[in-house]
Amino acid sequence: MKHLRITVFVFILSVSVVVSRAKDIDSSVVNDTDIEVYNSVSEPWETIFQKIGGTRYKISSKKDRKFKIILNRYQNPLPMIQFNWKGYTVCYYDYFGISSNGKELGNIVQIRNKEKVLYDIRGNSYFYGFKNDVYSYVKGKEDPYDIFFRDVTGDGEPELFIHAGTQGAYSYWTMYIFRMTENGPENIFKYYTGRVGTLQSSQMDKKWESHWNDRAWDIMNLRCYVRDIDNNGIPEMIMANSVIEHLLGQTHGPYALTILEWNGKRSFDKTRKFPKLARKAALGYVDDCKDNTIPSDDTYFYISDHLMPYYANMILAGQEKKAREWIRKNGKVEILEWLDDKKEIQLIHDALKLKGIGERMKKRKEYVY
């Protein structure tokens, strides 16, 4: 495959995502005298408040009558978004592109007990699913409770989801899950999911439910879909993972199916326990029930965007041998060279090992096109 590759170095705007405990944190988010930050606003907030007037707007949940999200027109000291969670306050500050005391602020999520900061998460693009679709929640088309809460431990108490990411063309997501204990909020999950690491809305869940029995799945639009697949009382988290995204230079997919389940102490990879679902994901990239479907032109694109993700998901389905047989039967020259390149195939196997994947992807700054 060397003749198919041109190595270039792409340096991404990388933003460190840090979760800190209260003892390490200055509870003040920014310097009060920083005029640039004080009373900062952004879209679509300003448009919303121009229509409704005032400086505070509440969005109520129909699913949980006690749950309300508060939008504040002006930030510092107030957060842009805030809501109560069992006596604790979750705050979101949108300071992307703004500096205070010579430091880039980015976006900040804090979980507070009154004035005490328990968790401080910094990066960019938090609350993405809510912030970008805020009109759907203002108009009542979506319930705000659904974008932040799902029960993933099977105890009947929904956990809080927070999504941390970077902005720009090369955006990546880390998904955090918090549960409430007798000692307060506890971070039980930190998972690096790549570009689609956000909790799905209820409307997206309904869409996936309608396609559940389809022969093939298009997982390009799959976010975090929570569903008890095996009816054991503990819901699985079904996601499209970007662990294979950059193996051949891609920047917007493709993805490997990932299914995680809580075992009482941690969430573990259960994908290979559901081979039929991994097979659906594979068929979304290549229909191996048909022969002579491989195009003769733009071979590299077909390998990177179709054959490689098909192969990866077939590994998860336990059908690597079938994938190799079909590719060998239908492929020519460059495709067969890729198939017989042991290093290339091993890279796929290595990427599907999720242990430590967050740190591996976070450090990667070299891409191959």
Which segments of the chain does DSSP mark as H helices, in order? 45-52, 128-132, 134-138, 202-210, 275-283, 299-302, 308-316, 320-330, 333-339, 342-351, 357-363
Q: Say how many CA atoms lie within 13 Å of 72 toward its Cβ.
A: 17
Query: Rounded CA gap, 88 and 339, in Å?
Result: 53
Name every residue whose Cβ is closer than 8 Å to that of residue 251 and which is 6 or more positions away in sequence: 169, 170, 245, 367
Taking the CA atoms of 169, 166, 46 and 199 in sequence, report the sign of the dihedral they define: positive
Taking the CA atoms of 193, 194, 199 and 200 in sequence, report the sign of the dihedral they define: negative
- In the chain, DSSP finds a helix count (H) and a strand count (E) of 11, 17
Q: Are 177 and 160 in contact (CB under 8 A)?
A: yes
| Mean of all residue pLDDT scores within the chain | 80
Q: Are 4 and 300 in contact (CB under 8 A)?
A: yes
Q: Are 283 and 219 in contact (CB under 8 A)?
A: no
Q: Are 112 and 147 in contact (CB under 8 A)?
A: no
**Residue 26 tokens, joined:** 């200055």
Q: Which amino acid is at 5?
A: R
DSSP secondary structure, 260-280, as one string: EEE-SS-EEE-GGG-HHHHHH
DSSP secondary structure, 291-319, as one string: SS-S-SS-HHHHIIIIIHHHHHHHHHTT-
pLDDT at residue 121 in the model: 86
Q: Are 163 and 108 in contact (CB under 8 A)?
A: no
**First-to-final CA distance of the chain:** 12
Name every residue whose Cβ is closer than 8 Å to that of residue 15 and which is 6 or more positions away in sequence: 106, 123, 124, 166, 167
Beta bridge partners of 166: none
β 173-181/159-165 pair status: antiparallel
- Distances, alpha carbon 274 to alpha carbons 271, 316, 341, in Å: 6, 9, 28
Which pTM was predicted? 0.83
Determine the 3-state secondary structure of 159 from DSSP: strand
* Phi, psi dihedrals of residue 359, rounded to the nearest 5°: -65, -35
| Per-residue confidence in pLDDT tens, the chain, 369 aa | 444 433 322 222 223 334 444 333 334 455 544 444 545 566 677 788 888 888 899 999 999 999 999 998 888 778 889 999 999 999 998 887 777 777 777 788 999 999 899 998 887 667 766 776 788 888 888 899 998 999 999 999 999 998 876 655 555 677 889 999 999 999 998 876 665 567 888 889 999 999 999 999 999 888 899 999 999 999 999 998 888 887 877 766 789 999 999 999 888 889 999 999 999 999 999 999 988 888 877 888 899 999 999 999 999 999 999 999 999 999 889 999 999 999 999 999 998 886 554 444 444 432 221
Query: Rounded CA gap, 31 and 78, in Å?
Result: 13
